[in-house]
């Protein structure tokens, strides 16, 4: 089970006991916010993408093996800005299918998080989360989360770098 993999992973920082498991689904930003009693923006949303040209860590030259996937984690009230993403990464953002997300990250959609990932998957944190004292990323299942400061998320998620590739979701 993916949440058990995350629990084991977070033991390195003695944070495995801080995972919050709820009876209700937290698979969407709205569900997670309602279950946790916080504003949707404080949900750390993980977006799983195809990594067209992202070199594996330690291979910054861009030659050789490359990761098949990458993650961008942003505030729950944000979405990818395609122009910013392409300008920064040099290729068009393309979401992983639910099957690919599970295959590459080990986590199913709704529980994808930057913890306990197979080696080589780069994680990028969007600056949109820095405005909050704490945020709530998922922990490998569709009913889990953990409250972390952005600097803790950076450390535990092995963030490659902070990026600015998102924009606010327009209200209807």
Per-residue confidence (pLDDT) for residue 172, from 0 to 100: 41
Please state, as a whole number, how many other Cβ atoms lie within 10 Å of the Cβ of residue 65. Answer: 9
Residue with tokens 């009876």: 23
Structural domains of the chain ordered from first start: 2-57+64-163 (3.90.960.10)
Average pLDDT per run of 10 along the chain, which is 172 residues long? 90 96 92 96 96 55 63 97 95 93 91 90 96 97 96 94 95 47
pLDDT of residue 119: 79
The pTM is what?
A: 0.88
């Amino acid at each position: 089970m993916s949440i058990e993999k995350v629990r084991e992973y977070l033991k390195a920082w003695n944070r495995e006991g801080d995972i919050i498991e709820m009876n209700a689904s937290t698979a969407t930003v709205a569900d997670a916010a309602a279950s946790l009693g916080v504003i949707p923006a404080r949900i750390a949303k993980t977006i799983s993408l195809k990594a067209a040209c992202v070199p594996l860590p330690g291979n910054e030259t861009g030659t050789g093996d490359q990761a098949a996937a990458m993650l961008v984690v942003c505030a729950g009230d944000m979405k990818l800005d395609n122009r910013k993403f392409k300008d920064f990464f040099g290729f068009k953002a393309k979401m992983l299918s639910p099957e690919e997300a599970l295959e590459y990250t080990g986590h199913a959609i709704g529980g994808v998080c930057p913890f306990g990932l197979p080696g080589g998957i780069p994680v990028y944190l969007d600056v949109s989360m820095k405005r909050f004292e704490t945020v709530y990323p998922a922990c490998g299942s569709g009913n889990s989360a953990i409250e972390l400061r952005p600097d803790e998320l950076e450390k535990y998620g092995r963030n490659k770098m902070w990026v600015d590739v998102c924009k606010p979701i327009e209200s209807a």
